Structure 1
Amino acid sequence: MSASESGNEGMDTYTQDNNDCNETKQKMQKKSAKDISQKGNDNDVKPLWGDEDVEDLDDGNSDGYENEIESHKANLEKLKTIDPEFYKFLQDNDKKLLDFNISDTEDEKDDEEQIHKPTEDLEIASDESDFEADDEEKKGDSYQQIVTLKLLKNWQAALHTDKTNKTIGCLIQAFHAALLRVSNEEDEVSQYKVDGSSVFNAVIQLCVLELSPAIRRFLGLTSSKIQPHKCKKFVKVKLLLRSYFTDLLKLLGGVTSTNILTVLLKHLHHMSPLLVSFPKISKPLIKKLIYLWGTGEEVVRILSFLCILRITNNQSSNLLDTVLKSMYMTYIINSKFVSVNSLSSVNFMRRSLAEMFALDPAVSYQHIFLYIRQLAIHLRNAIMVHKKENIQTVYNWQFVNSLKLWGNVLTITCDKPQLQPLVYPFVQVCLGTIRLVPTAQYYPLRFHITQILIDLSKDTGIFIPVLPFLLEILNEHDFNKKHKKVSMKPLNFTCLLRVSNSQISENGFKDTLIENIYGLLLEYLTIQSNSIAFPDVALFCIFQIKNFLKKCNVANYNKKIKQILEKINQNIDFIEKERKNVTFKITDYDKIKAWETVVKNKGTPMNTFFETWNKLKTIKKKKEITENDKLGDYNLPVIKRIKKENKKKDNKPANPFPSDSESDDNFNFGDKNTNEPEQNRNKKRRKKKQTVRNVDNSNEIDDVDQQDEVKDFDMSEW
């Protein structure tokens, strides 16, 4: 039984005894009045009351009164054993009640002193006092300390000196209070209260800058290889860290500003080694990071990927399977459409995802095998049924981007024996995709897949027969046919898989075909240029090119293809000259590889020409990306120069009768009819030119002043 409950029960007993005591006192007062009213000797006393009243105070009743007093004392003694806490309370606050002792021989003054009077500071139990106590407890529970900038400065200083987790706990609770301020969770009550945007930003900034170093100092983490839960003091901050990571996840889900997301992701990247001890929080956090990796801005995508990579490396056994599946599905969903604006983000997702698959080839093999098998099933259904719906499941950006992804993965992991068996089925899927609909409308798709195979052959050293798919276009497409439409620029196949019939009828379509065939042929033949079998490989190509040159009547197309033919012949002569001195057999593969390496280091004619051409192509691509051609649309300041029209006027005949409105500039320099000497006229013309130039410059200055001023953004002001 608590002290408050025992106190209430004791007070009830006390009030009942107090009432009995008052009744007894009244009887005693009557008896005292009787004694006072007596005159003379004690034998002659006559009572003032009636006989009935006197009978009530006879000897028998006095004995009952004494018995009542004795019982009252016994009750008080019994209270000492039943409720010692309340008995002690009475000793401290009202000791007269316990020393209760009244006799009939005491006078009126003594009786008045012995009448019990409660002290003023005595607390009496009642229903109202119970409610008041509950209200005070509620006020104590809901009390919130207001976070100020001064308090945050004190915390910042304490984080560097405090060896306990007290300041860390206060800061994490303040962070939770700041999150409650923006999350509209009114039911939850926090120990701290954050008011104002400046305090809110200060709390977030202090957590971002100081919390991670403070936790590392408290735990004694000197190396990233040490796991936090193996530290002795980790138990003291385990619940705090769990709460903080949960709040950080909520904050990442509610923030839309790129600048704030950038700061939070950098902070999370620094805190990610501590997530090893919280696998349940890591999974929803990874899910949110993958969403930002697939949909955020460029900086947010990069930071999200770095966080994913670091968290997955620390918990690869638990998270790698989930991460690979989620990232692949996010990549496929966000690569459904490719445009000029989304091309860079799709390329970044593809390359970063390829790095994730390269972390553990043994785990990645199962996923890659499954996904390539799905692509092969779609291709088989399209070949067997050959309906529009089945063909569209193959000829779309998701299918092509998936092939690009696996091509990059197999290129990066070409030295891993676990993934080498997947190269052959992947190449077969690519070749089957090219052959599915070999029409002119899908030439852009053919170029995309051909580029995938060329890159794979270049990095892995595997021979892939790509030349027939490029030379087939030269022989089947009619380049002599006159175009029905004229386009100012050639088409760009970078973001196209299919062209319409109207685009095929344009002259830009044929120009783009020749450009792509020229570049792909040159790149593929450069890869094979150091091969000992290059003359044999290029023989079929030479026949096809000569056949095209006979059919084609367009000079510009013939000029480009002839240039490739010349370089092929030069490289054939170089290889034949080098292999005249060969003494090893055709089955000595090691010696053949060594010979090809020596030839590659010397440099082949095809390789030298390709390097120069590739530099020019890279510069052209950069201009297209930066859109330098469109800079003319901006109103940039231009220096205006005055044309010298005087030289043109020298050949004209002089006007013998000039009007008064004509200026002096209309006179010829050597005119003898002018009354003004030639030097003065030259001075006037110089002054006039200077005034015109000053006017032009003033207009340019006004134009520049009217432009908006661009200031650098300060990260400390966020």
Structure 2
Amino acid sequence: MNIKSKGKPITKRLSTVKKSNLKTKKKKSGAFRPQTNIKVKNFEPESDSAAEEAISEMRAKYVKKKATSSKNASPKGFARPRFSNNEDISDSDDAVANGADAEHTSDTDNEEFMSNEMSLKKMGELPPELDMSDSELSDDEAEDVHKPPDELEVASDETDDETVPEPPGLVTLKMVEEWREKLKTDKTSSTISCVVKAFHGALNRVAAEEDKTAPSLRVVGSSVFNAVVQLCVLELQPAIKSFLQLPPGKRIPPHKCKKWVKIKTTLKCYLADLLKFLSAVTSEHILSVLLKHLHQMIPFVTNFSNVTKGLVKKLVELWSCGEETIRVLAFMCVLRLTTSEQKSLLDKVLKMMYMAFIKNSKFVSPNTLPAVNFMRRSLTELYNLDENISYYHVFLYIRQLAIHLRNAITVQKKENRQAVCNWQFMQSIHLWTDLLGASVNKPQLQQLVYPLVQVSIGTIKLVPSAQYFPLRFHCLEMLIELSANSGVFIPVLPFLLEVLTNFDFNKKHKKVSMKPLDFTCILRVSKGQLQENGFKDAVIENIYKLLLQYMANESHSIAFPDMTVPAVIQIKMFLKNCKNPNYCKKMKQILEKIEENAHYIEEERKKVSFALSDKKAVSAWENGIKLQGTPLAKFYTSWNKMNIQQLAKKATDNVKLGDYNIPVIKKPVKSTAGDDDGPVELFPSDESDADEFFGAEAQSKKKRGKRGSKKQQNPKTETKIKSEMKIKPEEGEEVEDIVEDFEFSESE
């Protein structure tokens, strides 16, 4: 087949093809992309057989080039060869040398054919024999092609009825029961570790901040959660003791057991989780259960210092801010923890508890007073554990109190006075008086009695006005208790009698109060309260109480007659000047008791044969008189019992019965003025009692109309009044009891 040439030599035509290839390479590197601006020239071969041969040869050539170089593939799957200069020249030279002009087309014709083929490809009119996009792929490429399966699987409708297997690591109630049985019999630590992991999963479920690492066991559902917590609280501690083979009667440190290494890490994780759980719980019932369990686990807690620090902080917080039962349980845990590790923990625990006590005693009210008293008494017990550490703490804090008092005395400013006259300062003094009074057998702490007494007396003298009489009475009461417990003589009488001489009880009051003021939760009274009669009543009550208490404590002293001479003189002066009979009655009674006790001591002193310089003989004589009982001490004990009952009645807000509930009277609803036709009630109001006693007077008085004229009363209204005044029912009538039935509880 002869193909017409364009009249140009072969070398020139090859150079034009080379230049066109270089232009396309400069535009974009990578696979060859044909130019879109090439004009398509249609050509018709001379015969169909020659065209088919040429096309077959070109196809074989293209397939060969594609197999050798996969990088030159067309974007749409059409294989295009990438000719180099040497290959083009060699092919063209071979074609010219062999004279195969009829069998091979020229390069120009090839270019025209390829452009024509691409245009047809875009138009979708390429013949099937020229389409080489997917049919002529290699074997390796054919294997990578995805082929859909012949038959597709369809989900059946019966899958809903089948039971879904539980995911691995999910805790069930059945597993919890199995662990409960294994904890009693298993001698290895595998069951204990499983229970600890389950508790960690349960904690991770309710914790606010989840761990980054997912737990190996997951707890889903409230029933499973409660079962896991109950298992740990009830069964874990006995299982650990049996695993470590700890004898029940002896106290052996757990870290000295042979199997401690096997369970150490597991136990540390459990205690850390228990502390997190304790911090997250707010329910009082759950807190009490966890604290009881923690009290059992304290021998294991002391082996982990990191857990112990966090636990002490949480326990001190519960001790200072929790409810009554929570406070007691937290203190029991702290006490056991400090006694087991006294050398390393006692100092830190005392500092933390003292700061928490001062922080929570800033405001004292009838509601918070029991909690403050509990903290003070429990802290006193902890300070009595070690005398050396306690002396350091007490000396340091009494010195701080003295510094505050010195600043208030020297500067004389309101801020400095407020730093002394507050509840935190007073509760601190109260704490140290209780401690020094309870540590009589510890001579090292008894050396601090004198500075504490000086601080208390300085506080009394700081503001001697009548507004601060409550503060004075609080300080004097603490000094009287310290003197009674420690056996040290403290001059309290001058500060009590000073109130009787300096304050004018004859001054008329401007306001009237029904009840006397209660100084229990008051340090300072206002100017308005000073003008009430209740203030004077409260002052006399407190003086009577403190005088009687102090004289009863000193009633067995051999110097009692001489010591009470100034008090007797000032009380007699008060009785001479005071015009209030109620106040005089109280002071006269205590004066008689003092004189009676002084006469008794004088009679007993006449029988003494030893010298007053013999201290041992004097103390023995005083102890004998104290055991026999003095008249003033006997009177004080009987009065104190009555006073305690009165305080209990005030606490229950009940005048008649302090320990029982009184019956309640039902008040029927009053009928309106328009209900004249309804039945008459038996007791329409509380005024029926007055009508019963003053019925004749009510009948004698009649309503009057206008002035100067009298209206005759209607007989119907007269019968109605008589029926209302009738209290006792007639025969045959039944009257319901208006008093509710009441029962006393077993606790009462």
User: Are 2:697 and 1:685 aligned?
Assistant: no
CA shift for structure 1 position 629: 4.9
Partner of 2:303: 277
Partner of 1:346: 372
Partner of 1:461: 487
Name the amino acid aligned to 2:288. T
CA shift for structure 1 position 626: 2.3
Change (3 A) 1:648 1:607: closer
Partner of 2:14: none
Partner of 1:152: 176
Equivalent of residue 649 in structure 2, options 620, 623, 629:
623
Partner of 2:246: 221
CA shift for structure 1 position 275: 1.5
* 2:302 counterpart SS class: helix
Change (3 A) 1:550 1:159: same
Equivalent of residue 571 in structure 2, options 531, 545, 556:
545
Name the amino acid aligned to 1:364. S
Change (3 A) 1:385 1:597: same
Change (3 A) 1:189 1:664: closer
Q: Distance in 2 between matches of 1:436 and 1:578?
A: 41
Task: Please give the residue correspondences for 1:3-402 in structure 2 after superposition, counting only pairs within 5 Å.
Answer: 144-183=168-207, 184-185=209-210, 187-222=212-247, 223=249, 225-402=251-428
Task: Please give the residue correspondences for 1:697-716 in structure 2 after superposition, counting only pairs within 5 Å.
Answer: none
Q: Distance in 2 between matches of 1:289 and 1:584?
A: 57
Partner of 2:584: 558
* 1:685 counterpart SS class: coil
> Pairwise CA RMSD of aligned residues?
3.1
Task: Please give the residue correspondences for 1:483-502 in structure 2 after superposition, counting only pairs within 5 Å.
Answer: 483-502=509-528
User: Are 2:638 and 1:638 aligned?
Assistant: no
Name the amino acid aligned to 1:206. L
* 2:730 counterpart SS class: helix
Q: Distance in 1 between matches of 2:319 and 2:602?
A: 52
CA shift for structure 1 position 543: 0.8
Partner of 1:609: 635
Q: Which structure has more RCO (C-alpha within 8 Å, separation ≥ 6)?
A: 1
Q: Distance in 2 between matches of 1:281 and 1:574?
A: 63
Q: Distance in 2 between matches of 1:386 and 1:664?
A: 73
Partner of 1:86: none
Q: After superposition, what is the alpha-carbon deviation per residue over 1:237-277, rounded to whole angstroms, capped at 9, x for unaligned?
A: 10011001100111111111111111111110111111221
CA shift for structure 1 position 415: 1.0
Partner of 1:78: none
Name the amino acid aligned to 2:229. I
Partner of 1:79: none
Name the amino acid aligned to 1:439. S
User: Are 2:546 and 1:517 aligned?
Assistant: no
Q: After superposition, what is the alpha-carbon deviation per residue over 1:418-448, rounded to whole angstroms, capped at 9, x for unaligned?
A: 2111111111111111111111111100011
CA shift for structure 1 position 635: 11
Q: Distance in 2 between matches of 1:646 and 1:512?
A: 40
Equivalent of residue 482 in structure 1, options 481, 497, 508:
508
Q: Distance in 2 between matches of 1:155 and 1:409?
A: 49
Partner of 1:425: 451
Q: Taking structure 1 as the reference length, what is the TM-score of the superposition?
A: 0.71
Q: After superposition, what is the alpha-carbon deviation per residue over 1:562-618, rounded to whole angstroms, capped at 9, x for unaligned?
A: 001000010011000001010111111111011111111111110011011100110
Q: Distance in 1 between matches of 2:178 and 2:393?
A: 52
Contact 2:179-2:191 within 8 A present in 1 as well: yes
* 1:546 counterpart SS class: helix
Q: Distance in 2 between matches of 1:156 and 1:424?
A: 61
Q: Distance in 1 between matches of 2:295 and 2:309?
A: 15
User: Are 2:557 and 1:531 aligned?
Assistant: yes
CA shift for structure 1 position 280: 2.3
CA shift for structure 1 position 224: 5.4
Equivalent of residue 506 in structure 1, options 521, 524, 532:
532
CA shift for structure 1 position 363: 1.1
More helix by share: 1
Q: After superposition, what is the alpha-carbon deviation per residue over 1:367-408, rounded to whole angstroms, capped at 9, x for unaligned?
A: 110000010111111111111111111111110000000011
Contact 1:283-1:319 within 8 A present in 2 as well: no
Q: Distance in 2 between matches of 1:256 and 1:664?
A: 62
Name the amino acid aligned to 1:325. K
Change (3 A) 1:582 1:211: same
Name the amino acid aligned to 1:209. L
Q: Distance in 1 between matches of 2:532 and 2:720?
A: 56
Q: Distance in 2 between matches of 1:383 and 1:221?
A: 61
Change (3 A) 1:503 1:658: closer
Contact 2:649-2:657 within 8 A present in 1 as well: no
Change (3 A) 1:201 1:431: same
CA shift for structure 1 position 188: 2.2
* 2:592 counterpart SS class: helix
Work out which of the two has the higher radius of gyration on C-alpha atoms and give 1 or 2: 2
CA shift for structure 1 position 636: 6.3
Q: Distance in 1 between matches of 2:440 and 2:558?
A: 23
Change (3 A) 1:276 1:686: same
Name the amino acid aligned to 1:385. V
Partner of 2:159: none
Change (3 A) 1:428 1:646: closer
Partner of 1:574: 600
Q: After superposition, what is the alpha-carbon deviation per residue over 1:32-80, rounded to whole angstroms, capped at 9, x for unaligned?
A: xxxxxxxxxxxxxxxxxxxxxxxxxxxxxxxxxxxxxxxxxxxxxxxxx
Percent of residue pairs bearing the same amino acid type? 53
Q: Distance in 1 between matches of 2:617 and 2:223?
A: 73
Partner of 1:584: 610
Contact 2:501-2:574 within 8 A present in 1 as well: yes
Equivalent of residue 446 in structure 1, options 440, 462, 472:
472
Contact 2:380-2:431 within 8 A present in 1 as well: yes
Q: Distance in 1 between matches of 2:565 and 2:719?
A: 79
Change (3 A) 1:569 1:177: same
CA shift for structure 1 position 630: 11
CA shift for structure 1 position 208: 0.7
Q: Distance in 1 between matches of 2:411 and 2:324?
A: 42
Equivalenced residues, count: 542
Q: Distance in 2 between matches of 1:566 and 1:361?
A: 44
* 1:438 counterpart SS class: coil
CA shift for structure 1 position 279: 2.2
Change (3 A) 1:402 1:153: same
Contact 1:410-1:456 within 8 A present in 2 as well: yes
With 472-481 and 380-389 compared, the bigger mean Cα shift is at: 380-389
Partner of 1:22: none
CA shift for structure 1 position 190: 1.1
Q: Taking structure 2 as the reference length, what is the TM-score of the superposition?
A: 0.69
Change (3 A) 1:647 1:312: closer
* 1:393 counterpart SS class: helix
